[in-house]
Structure 1
Amino acid sequence: MELYKAAMVLGGVGDALGYRNSRWESCPSGVTILSELKALGGLEGITLSEDGWPVSDDTLMHIVTAQALVSDFWTLEDLYREMMKVYTETVAEINKRQPDPSTIEGCTQLKPDNYLLGWHTPFNKKGSGFGAATKAMCIGMRYWQPQKLDNLVGVSIECGRMTHNHPTGFLGSLCTALFASYAIQRKPLVEWGREMMKVLTVAETYCKKTIRHMAEYQENWFYFETKWQSYLEERGIAQQGQNTPRFPENFDAEKRDQVYKEWSSEGVGGRRGHDAPMIAYDALLSAGSNWTELCNHAMFHGGQSGATGSIAGCLYGLLFGMKNVPNGLYQNVEFRERLEELAAKLHKAANENEML
């Protein structure tokens, strides 16, 4: 239970830090951000609050996704209807927080009045953004058991393509949901990436069964897979038995910005569904239980730092709880009580003996 609470809250903390009311999220230089952080007194000198350090749309979408997952649904179709409802209801609020354009476009295409097909949105060639990945960790928290993998795959894909109907987008939601489940299972961190690669075939099978947009999916499917395979090989952990990640000798803020740009598809690290979870995962591999190092790698870089921070913070919470996190970062973070309440409900729902 405490790890669930830490995960939901630290997801918000990581988001608020990386976003910094859109100031740091739009800054192209991690060196500049770390310099400004030092002037603020470092992480110990910051007190997060709604006024000065609000969360972005990433945390709001994670909150309403969790809200749907703990609602009283009997079938997965009922769950998707609830997701569709909460997504359309939250558009006005997330519009105030510099949202991912794909999220807004996807939400406006949902049709809550259509009982049978309302969550089926058109294929979107621009729907490859990070927003599907940042709202899906709670899905892995809800369906963390290995025997519930089919539910995790189906729900994360449907949740992802409601707003980001492009493989690079919705495979990002599958990725972060899987990583959350692996954290709860206590699967060794170094195995997460290659285990996720195996599940991509399960995801492809699921998409074929739903018979929607398969021509477009096949044309765009392998980008996500290729990027992740390349990353795992770069870190030297692509094969079973390769359990020591290989990092550059000099991996300072300037070098990280360069590397993150190379992983991206448009020169902005963390902007897409493949590299937002990739940067968060890489930060965890590098930092371990060191919260400050995690922040340096995932929250303070010249890219989509709110997105990468929200994913990294949530996964850190599942692994380590509030360990090493200064009190000022989470005591008054925006929506803290709501995040903790949803965490308790997710924990209860995930561990009840039920079909869904």
Structure 2
Amino acid sequence: MVLSGVGDALGYRGGRWEYCTSGPQIHVELAELGGLEAITLEPPEWPVSDDTILHLATAEGLATGLEGEPLLQELAHRYVAAMGDMEGRKPGPTSILGTSQLRPGEPEGYRIPFNPTATGWGGATVGAAMRSLAIGLRYPHAWELPTLIRVSIESGRMTHHHPTGYLGALAVALFGALGARGEPPERWGAELLRVLPLAWDYVESAGVAVGENAAAWSFFGDAWHRYLESRGLLEGCGPPQMPSLSSPAERDAVYLGWALEGWPGRSGHDAPMVALEALLASGGCWEDLCNRGVLHGGDSDSTGTIAAGCWGLQEGLASVPPGLPCCLEHRGRLRDAAHRLHMLAWGRH
């Protein structure tokens, strides 16, 4: 949880890097700062963005221990409340629209209409994915998969009611669960493809905008199939076939090929993809993880939130320069929510 905030604040840099389309430019500025070792992440230059505020809403809602409908109402309430802390944090237009449509406390007030523009064409869809790692921390066990599917889809479509959006939430939640129980990242993508039909079964059984969701369903899975095939990971067996992509310009070019609207990491399908790519290619090196998953042209705080959070599940804080987490905005809340989630997930096992 703490490293997800680190990835967010680092990739955001007060909006300067989130809205920079050039990875090479970001790396020039990073060198001028003295590199990662020289940075202390704290406001006002290094606040967390909307990503962490909404991730905290998810985590703290889950940490109440509520389940079923009461949990979904709680999450809706917390997403609405979180929008009151967005000064200087640049929330996405789809998140703003979605939360404005929520009616927590009313019957099914956590549901909003299907949004045909929330694809990445005309509306960013990463807002559901960036806040969902905590769902995997709450429901890490294989036998909890149906709950993880339900909570990630329902929480995702509270603001991003389009498969390209809420399936990003499912992907990140699933990666969190797999990482929490020690599954290597080489297996995560194949497991996602295995879970997608189960996700469709849930969407169909829930009976909400089934036709619209069906018509838009295939893009997400097709994009992930192409990516995993290109890395030799369709079967979930390593080692992955990773291109070196040693320069920021090379990485920008590849990420652009996965993106919608020329903005890498902005959509629910490609933000988890960039994060997984960084995990697979970094070889256990924190600096390389940041170079690949955080410091690139595009929506770098969203990919950073996911990539750094997943890194924490595998590696912890040992190799992270201490200036990055020590003064992080809301570090205490992130840590406390993580402890409560861990107790709920593992305390009885």
TM-score range normalised by the length of the shorter chain: over 0.9
- Does residue 163 (structure 1) correspond to residue 156 (structure 2)? The answer is no
Q: Deviations over 1:300-340 (max 9, x none)?
A: 10010000000011100111100210000000010011111
TM-score, structure 1 length as denominator?
Answer: 0.94
Moved more, 43-52 or 53-62: 43-52
Q: Which among 227, 238, 241 is matched to residue 231 of structure 1?
A: 227
Q: Is the 8 A contact 1:102 1:126 kept in 2?
A: no
| Paired positions, count | 344
Q: Distance in 2 between matches of 1:233 and 1:274?
A: 15
How far off is 1:204 after superposition? Answer: 0.3
How far apart, in 2, do the equivalents of 1:271 and 1:350 lie? 30
Q: 1:121 pairs with 112, 121, 134, which one? A: 112
Residue 106 (1) aligns with residue 101 (2): no
Q: Which residue of 2 aligns with 1:282?
A: 277
Describe the SS at the equivalent of 1:186: coil
Counterpart-to-counterpart distance in 2, 1:274 and 1:225: 8
Who is 2:53 aligned against?
60
The answer to whether the 8 A contact 1:123-1:166 is kept is yes
Structure 1's consecutive aligned runs of 4 or more residues displaced over 6 angstroms after TM superposition are none
Is the CA contact (8 Å cut-off) linking 1:16 and 1:48 kept in structure 2?
yes
Q: How does 1:33-182 map to 2 (within 5 A)?
A: 33-73=26-66, 75-94=67-86, 96-114=88-106, 116-128=107-119, 129-182=125-178
Q: Tell me how far apart the structure 2 counterparts of residues 65 and 84 of structure 1 sit (CA, whole Å).
A: 9
Contact 2:27-2:295 at 8 Å conserved across structures: yes
Deviation at 1:353, TM superposition (A): 3.7
Secondary structure at the counterpart of residue 64 of structure 2:
coil
CA contact (8 A) 2:95 2:159 kept: yes
* Deviation readout 1:281-318 (Å, 9 max, x if unpaired): 00000003210000000111001000000001110011
Deviation of 1:96 after TM superposition, in Å, equals 3.5
Structure 2 gaps, min length 5:
120-124
In structure 2, the CA distance between the partners of 1:250 and 1:160, relative to structure 1 (3 Å rule), is closer
Root-mean-square deviation (CA), in Å?
1.2
Residue 331 (structure 2) pairs with residue 336 (structure 1) = yes
**Distance in 1 (alpha carbons) for counterparts of 2:71 and 2:144:** 16
CA contact (8 A) 1:127 1:163 kept: no
Residue aligning to 2:346: 351
Q: CA deviation at 1:95?
A: 5.2
* Residue number in structure 2 paired with 1:5: none
Give the alignment partner of residue 268 of structure 2, picking from 267, 273, 283. 273
Instruction: Provide the C-alpha distance between the structure 1 equivalents of 2:234 and 2:28, rounded to a whole number of angstroms.
Output: 35
- Mapping for residues 246-325 of structure 1, pairs under 5 Å: 246-325=241-320
- In structure 2, relative to structure 1, the CA distance for the partners of 1:188 and 1:89 (3 Å cut) is same
**TM-score, L = length of structure 2:** 0.96
Structure 1 stretches lacking a partner, 5+ long: 1-7
The CA distance in 2 between the partners of 1:169 and 1:240, in whole Å, is: 24
Q: Is the 8 A contact 1:58 1:134 kept in 2?
A: yes
Q: Distance in 1 between matches of 2:70 and 2:105?
A: 13
How far does the alpha carbon of each residue in 1:137-157 deviate from its partner, in whole angstroms, 9 at most, with x for none? 000000000011111000000
1:90 match: secondary structure: helix
